[in-house]
Chains A and B, each alone.
Chain A
Amino acid sequence: MPLIDPSVVDLSRLQFALTALYHFIFVPLTLGMTFLLAAMETVYVITGKQIYKDMTQFWGKLFGINFAIGVATGLTMEFEFGTNWSMYSHFVGDVFGTPLAIEGLMAFFMESTFIGLMFFGWDRLSKPGHLAVTYLTALGSNLSALWILIANGFMQNPRGASFNPDTMRMEFNSFLKLVFSEDAQAKFVHTSIAGFVTGALFVMGISAFYILRRQHREFAARSFRMAALFGVISSLAVVTLGDALGRLDYLVQPTKIAAIEGLWQDSDAGGSAAAAPWLLFALPDQAAQTNLVEFGIPYVLDPLVAHSFSTNIPGLISLEKQAGPRIKKGIAALNALQAYGKDHGAAALATFKANESDMGYGFLAQRYAPNQDLSKITPANQDAVVAQAEKDTIPNVFVTFWSFRIMMILGFYFVGLFAFAAFFSLKNRLERNPLLLKLCVWSIPLPVLACEFGWITAEAGRQPWSVYRWLPTFQAASSHSVGYMVFSLIGFALLYSVFIAAELYLMFKFARLGPQPHQAAAPEAAPAPMFAAPAE
């Protein structure tokens, strides 16, 4: 099979990264806002106080703007798998398509149906009925994310499928293994809760803006209180879950974790694994396989990554060397597969089965084989081919290292910000702390930024694989022309920029307007609590 033009692969990657990053500007806010709206409406239904209905409706309006544009940006991505990643779609379509189909049919339709009822059902549904709809909208939006992340979990740590040499693709053997994959679980919870942080800071920041301007005081103070408490627990959870995800990566994707930590040599290279420093700052040099500058905190790396004081964490150089034998086995697997394709012989099949688990590594060698033909690798040239292919098993260390650092620093910043915000809100001392309020306003975009860098860490750290250890990214793309890719890339960039401009315009417009006068009315004269004591 001829290799696809590397420029086309790079452009396909750039296009997918661009559309995913654009789309992910909107997603976290949707994930978090829905449950925050549900919390506000729950208080309304229980207490009967009009102000909580006003809050739900006002923040719901901002959520609606974000949701509509988020859906528009997400639709194209599912088609991109078919148009730009056709080899990938062929290779894992049986597995990957299932969660995507469930996402479309179940979660997305559920979300869309209930969102309509949520917006237009205020006067048509009972209070508990409408509250149930709001919860179902929240559940639906998070279920959408769940199925996408189950699909992504398969790319990170393939579970529940095996390769069929007759059909030349991965096929399902366990739906439950796919759904309950640890990677999918941890990734979903981390992503969903990161959305909660985004939603909470959005509401808290705009509420802080009103408090600073002495507008909609009662409305803003309540919103701020709810968002601060929602955010303080979410931000603590997101950091904890991030640690769990890091531990999982250490177990299943050692190259990613070594790249995240800028770890070129094994952690015990200095004599003691326990004393290895966790790098606060480094300038990784991929070509020289070292950090040009680095400083870190000793005795932190091992407990942080391996949850131990005595475990050696393999460095990138060791991991690269460990890939060598796997590449050789992969070459044998692919050559046997090619022979099996011609004669369906038992011997070829047996050879393939013996080396099957390293098949993906064989693809890595194809780039460096004579005429890019694996069958032309001989004992004489094999070591040279393997030595070149080994280098490709390491992700871009600079990008992975720094995207992780930015995400992590922001994560800890959110814990501190929400903790102070919750404290001063509970003490009713917000107006005495204008600096904190200003910080809340200026921090509104930061959770989105953290989510984007989290996604970059996960995806850049998985390279060179599109499906970890099975299919390299350069083998997964479609064979388009460079012109086609450039044209569609520019088209997407322009279109999505328009979407973002529209989102920002509408958000600023409606946030500045604030709750409408009729919404900000005084509490109802005679509130009708849902659980009121029966009349005597």
Chain B
Amino acid sequence: MGKYFTFVGLGLVLALALLLAVVAGDYGPWYFAWMVGTVMIVLIAGCGAVLFDAQHEKGEGEI
């Protein structure tokens, strides 16, 4: 039951995100670009940290 609610909840978030994307894309393209771009910047910075850990777990001691 919990998984069902999670699924429905995430589905609603997805629908809201799509609606926001359509509205923002039409009326506020720069706002939309900021939302997408900021998420991308945060994720890429996070990926860099994870990559750092992976490199150093392989024994690359130098920084």
Contacts and interface: CB of A to CB of B under 8 A. Distances in A.
Contacts of A182: 30
Interface residues of A, number: 47
A226 B45 contact: yes
B44 interface: yes
A185 interface: yes
Interface stretch (A37-45, A159-167, A249-257, A340-348): A37-45
B37 interface: yes
Interface in A119-178: 176
A336 to B, nearest CB: 36
B29 interface: yes
With a 10 A CB-CB cut-off, give which of B27, B44, B52 has the most chain A CB atoms. Answer: B52
B63 to A, nearest CB: 4
Interface in B28-49: 28-31, 33-34, 37-38, 40-49
Contact of B30 (A39, A185, A211, A428): A185
Interface residues of B, number: 27
Contacts of A428: 55, 60, 62-63
Contacts of A196: 38, 41
B62 A230 contact: no
Contacts of B43: 39
Interface stretch (A93-101, A217-225, A488-496): A217-225
Contact of B52 (A192, A217, A225): A225
Contacts of A260: none
Contact of B42 (A39, A189, A218): A39
B14 interface: no
B62 A186 contact: no
A227 B23 CA distance: 32
12 contacts: A42-B42, A52-B49, A176-B27, A192-B38, A227-B45, A230-B41, A230-B44, A234-B41, A425-B48, A426-B48, A428-B63, A430-B63
Interface of B: 27-31, 33-34, 37-38, 40-53, 55, 60, 62-63
